[in-house]
């Protein structure tokens, strides 16, 4: 983590400035330490060079959005992608009722900065070393710049071009996953002077940063552990935000859009690639899941997403549909009013 990242990093709880303590440095960068909010005293760790600023109890785990909505404990086995089988078994009406009862009886759980397990640290060291890329053809598939092809590659190129056309100097990628999109944007967009990638699953952060290093852009780039529904980012400090496909994995679409709007500069842009319809893997009818998604603030499809974004204050600059291997994909460019 570069010390300069503290210029735009903020406490996700109160958005106060952060100070750094008990640091270990390597080549001028912060390798370990504790970030402390000067306003509310909350503390957040720097783990093997990666800042982890999570407001919820999500330091070691990622939870499927349906499970999160229903309050299913993390790690509970399920036999369907994104827990669609679980939702089908419960039934839509009962699931909505369960959500309503839960939402009135639960409170947000604050994260424990000491909750980083030995298992996570072991995986972090492995990923940070780049060893993960040396097996199963990963280097060829994931460290090839520019990308050379694959499923829906033309749509990916259209998305990359849509982001690059914003002519931004400061770019933030939200719901970054393994960082495939943001690192390709960093590679091809030479105008960028600051790049941030925010991902809730901490195991992804070292892969993202390794990719930045691989293309020679680590000096301006930062992979950040954070929850996009409460971003650890200062207001109005990025020209453009981008999201590549991650919306279906998010509970809290409206909060995400409000936060995205907040961190973008006036007249800045948000560019998103996403599925036209919610992804149900043919386990549930799309219409049934859409009813559940609207009630629970999950991704409910293109029209609902546009409507929510416009309520936040975004204006649609362009939206284009593309035929893909699994349904229609959309690339939409929003502008902050």
In sequence order, which residues have a C-beta less than 8 Å from that of residue 217 and are 6 or more positions away?
A: 183, 186, 187, 192, 195
Distance in angstroms (rounded) separating the CA atoms of residues 94 and 112 = 33
Average pLDDT, stretch 245-253? Answer: 93
| H-run or E-run covering 256 | helix 253-263
Neighbours of 329 (CB within 10 A): 22
Q: Sign of torsion, CA 60 228 192 187?
A: positive
Instruction: Say yes or no to pLDDT of 110 above 60.
Output: no
- Confidence grade of residue 111 (pLDDT, cut at 50, 70, 90): very low
Say if strands 170-174 and 238-244 run parallel, antiparallel, or are unpaired. parallel
pLDDT for the residue numbered 114: 52
324 burial via Cβ count (<10 Å: 0-12, 13-18, 19+): middle
pLDDT for the residue numbered 201: 87
Instruction: Say yes or no to pLDDT of 80 above 80.
Output: no
Fold topology of 133-336: Rossmann fold (3.40.50)
Q: Find out whether 55 and 111 touch, Cβ atoms under 8 Å.
A: yes
pLDDT for the residue numbered 79: 46
Residue 10 — left, alpha, or beta (φ > 0 → left; ψ -120 to 50 → alpha)? beta
pLDDT for the residue numbered 116: 62
Average pLDDT, stretch 158-173? Answer: 97
Instruction: Say yes or no to pLDDT of 25 above 60.
Output: yes
Domain residues of the chain, as ranges? Answer: 133-336
Instruction: Say yes or no to pLDDT of 109 above 50.
Output: no
Average pLDDT, stretch 148-174? Answer: 93
pLDDT for the residue numbered 74: 63
pLDDT for the residue numbered 337: 87
Neighbours of 21 (CB within 10 A): 11
pLDDT for the residue numbered 238: 98
In sequence order, which residues have a C-beta less than 8 Å from that of residue 280 and are 6 or more positions away?
A: 84, 286, 289
Average pLDDT, stretch 1-6? Answer: 94
Q: Find out whether 177 and 250 touch, Cβ atoms under 8 Å.
A: no
pLDDT for the residue numbered 202: 87
Instruction: Say yes or no to pLDDT of 106 above 60.
Output: no
Instruction: Say yes or no to pLDDT of 131 above 80.
Output: yes
Average pLDDT, stretch 166-185? Answer: 96
- Chain mean pLDDT for the chain: 90
pLDDT for the residue numbered 108: 44
pLDDT for the residue numbered 321: 97
This prediction's pTM: 0.93
**Residues pairing with 50 in the sheet:** 47
């Amino acid at each position: 983590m570069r010390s300069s990242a503290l210029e735009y990093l903020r406490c996700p709880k109160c958005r106060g400035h952060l100070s750094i303590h008990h640091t270990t440095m390597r080549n001028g960068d912060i390798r370990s330490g504790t970030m402390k909010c000067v306003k509310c005293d909350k503390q957040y760790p720097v783990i093997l060079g990666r800042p982890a600023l999570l407001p919820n109890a999500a330091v070691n785990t990622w939870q499927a959005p349906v499970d999160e909505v229903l309050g299913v404990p993390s790690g509970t086995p399920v036999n369907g992608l994104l827990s669609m089988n679980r939702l089908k078994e419960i039934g839509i009406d009962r699931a909505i009722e369960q959500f309503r009862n839960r939402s009135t009886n639960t409170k947000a759980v604050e994260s424990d900065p000491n909750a980083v397990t030995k298992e996570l640290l072991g995986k972090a060291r492995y990923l940070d070393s780049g060893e993960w890329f040396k097996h199963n053809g990963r280097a060829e598939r994931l460290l090839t710049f520019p990308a050379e092809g694959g499923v829906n590659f033309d749509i990916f190129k259209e998305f990359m071009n849509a982001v690059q056309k914003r002519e931004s100097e400061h770019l933030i990628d939200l719901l970054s996953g393994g960082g495939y999109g943001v690192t390709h944007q960093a590679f091809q967009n030479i105008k960028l002077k600051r790049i941030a990638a925010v991902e809730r699953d901490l195991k992804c952060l070292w892969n993202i940063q390794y990719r930045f290093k691989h293309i020679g852009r680590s000096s301006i780039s930062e992979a950040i552990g954070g929850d996009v529904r409460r971003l650890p980012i200062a207001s109005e400090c990025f020209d453009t935000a981008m999201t590549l496909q991650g919306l279906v994995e998010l509970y809290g679409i409206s909060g995400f859009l409000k936060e995205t709007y907040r961190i973008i500069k006036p007249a800045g842009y948000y560019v998103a690639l996403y599925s036209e319809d919610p992804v149900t893997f043919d386990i549930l009818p799309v219409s049934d899941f859409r009813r559940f998604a609207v009630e629970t603030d999950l991704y409910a499809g293109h029209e609902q997403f546009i409507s929510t974004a416009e309520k936040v204050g975004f204006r649609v600059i362009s939206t284009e549909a593309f035929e893909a291997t699994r349904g229609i994909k959309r690339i939409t460019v929003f502008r902050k009013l």
